[in-house]
């Protein structure tokens, strides 16, 4: 398919080209080129061959690909999809985007920008490293900090980058633990891609733990009362069907989260603007942690 688009692109930019020139360019036989021309003709592309010294393969004058194969909407969808790949620097996307833009006789709308760095820093190193490791099937090594602050050196076969719950993770086969794990990119430090290749793994292979840390966690349903001053966080962090707005402007929130130190830290980050209504044991944990914090200032 790529060769067929390339042939069309060449014919759009040249009045005529010989089968020999095309065969040499693509490293195939002239017989293969003529089969490609037949395929294009069957697809409705007005390509023809001329005989004689000045003959060659040409397109009918005034041909525009969009009028023959793809609708206006389909063209825009293709260019938009390619641009969405381009922002994460997928291999060879820019070249294909440029060629198809010329074929469709239109420029792609600059509709998307993705920046993996943090505010005020150069960040994004882990994302780029894991992307290279995934595409090249190479082993990666890095330091990783768990939710408890424990630092370990990991050696993995990266499988996939994924965005979940407002954060980037890398799904990888942990060579030390012999299992597939999710690693949160913000906890990855000193990533390195090494010269050791591995065969692709099945994305659907089972795993005893696909969470971002090695311990098992239980889900709990929290009922929270949040003050009006935290309206912006309620909007950012909870779906509409989780939230009930009260007459006094406060919010009643019901949310199911995995119970661990991340949950406690998130609740405490609301300060005096939140109250845990249920479950009782989480109320007790937050009370105890708040008392310890207050004790440091006595």
DSSP letter for each residue of the chain: -HHHHHHHHHHHHSS-B-HHHHHHHHTS-HHHHHHHHHHHHHTT--EEE--STT--EEE-TT--GGGTT--HHHHHHHHHHHHHHHTTT-TTHHHHHHHHHHHHTSPPP-------SPTTS---HHHHHHHHHHHHTEEEEEEEE-TT--EEEEEEEEEEEEEETTEEEEEEEETTTTEEEEEEGGGEEEEEEEEEE-PPPPTT---S--SSSSS---EEEEEEEE-GGGHHHHHHHS-GGGEEE-TTS-EEEEEEEE-SHHHHHHHHTTGGGEEEEE-HHHHHHHHHHHHHHHHTT-
Confidence check: pLDDT of 85 > 60: no
Confidence check: pLDDT of 123 > 50: no
The predicted model gives 240-255 an average pLDDT of 93
Decide yes or no: CATH 2.60.40 for domain 125-197. Answer: no
CB atoms within 10 A of CB 77: 12
pLDDT band per the 50, 70, 90 thresholds, residue 122? very low
The predicted model gives 256-276 an average pLDDT of 89
- Alpha-carbon distance of 199 to 202, in angstroms, equals 10
**pLDDT score for 226:** 96
Residue 107 forms beta bridges with which residues? none
**pLDDT score for 163:** 81
Decide yes or no: CATH 1.25.40.90 for domain 2-63. Answer: no
Domain with CATH 3.30.70 in the chain: 219-295
Domain with CATH 2.30.30 in the chain: 125-197
The predicted model gives 72-87 an average pLDDT of 57
The residue ranking higher by pLDDT, 167 or 234, is: 234
Domain with CATH 1.10.10.10 in the chain: 2-63
The predicted model gives 83-87 an average pLDDT of 53
The pTM assigned to this predicted structure is 0.47
Residues in the chain: 298
The residue ranking higher by pLDDT, 209 or 13, is: 13
Angle between helices 280-295 and 261-268 (to 10 degrees): 70
**pLDDT score for 201:** 67
Min mean pLDDT across 14-28, 79-93, 146-160 is at 79-93
**pLDDT score for 206:** 44
Confidence check: pLDDT of 204 > 80: no
Decide yes or no: CATH 3.15.10 for domain 219-295. Answer: no
Are 99 and 60 in contact, with CB atoms under 8 Å apart? no
Which of 209, 224, 229 has its CA nearest to residue 257?
224
């Amino acid at each position: 398919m790529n060769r067929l688009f390339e042939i069309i692109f060449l014919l759009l930019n040249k009045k005529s080209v010989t089968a020999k020139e095309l065969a040499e360019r693509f490293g195939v036989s002239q017989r293969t080129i003529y089969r490609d021309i037949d395929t294009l003709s069957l697809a409705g592309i007005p390509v023809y061959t001329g005989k004689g010294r000045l003959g060659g393969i040409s397109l009918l004058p005034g041909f525009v690909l969009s009028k023959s194969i793809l609708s206006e909407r389909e063209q825009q969808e293709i260019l938009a999809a390619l641009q969405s790949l381009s922002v994460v620097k997928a291999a060879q996307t820019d070249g294909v985007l440029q060629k198809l833009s010329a074929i469709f006789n239109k420029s792609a709308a600059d509709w998307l920008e993705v920046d993996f760095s943090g505010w005020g820093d150069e960040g994004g190193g882990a994302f780029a490293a894991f992307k290279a490791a995934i595409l090249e099937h190479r082993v990666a090594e890095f330091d990783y900090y768990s939710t408890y602050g424990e630092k370990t050196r990991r050696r993995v076969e990266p499988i996939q980058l994924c965005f979940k719950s407002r954060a980037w993770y890398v799904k990888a086969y942990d060579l030390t633990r012999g299992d597939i794990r999710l690693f949160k990119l913000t906890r990855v430090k000193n990533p390195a891609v090494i010269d050791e290749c591995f065969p692709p793994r099945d994305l659907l292979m089972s795993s005893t733990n696909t969470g971002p840390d090695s311990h098992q966690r239980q889900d709990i349903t929290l009922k929270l009362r949040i003050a009006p001053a935290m309206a912006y966080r309620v909007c950012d962090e909870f779906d509409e069907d989780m939230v009930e707005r009260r007459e006094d402007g406060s919010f009643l929130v019901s949310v199911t989260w995995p119970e661990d130190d991340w949950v406690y830290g998130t609740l405490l980050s609301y300060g005096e603007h939140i109250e845990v209504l249920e479950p009782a044991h989480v109320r007790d944990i937050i009370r105890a942690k708040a008392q310890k914090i207050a004790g440091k200032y006595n």
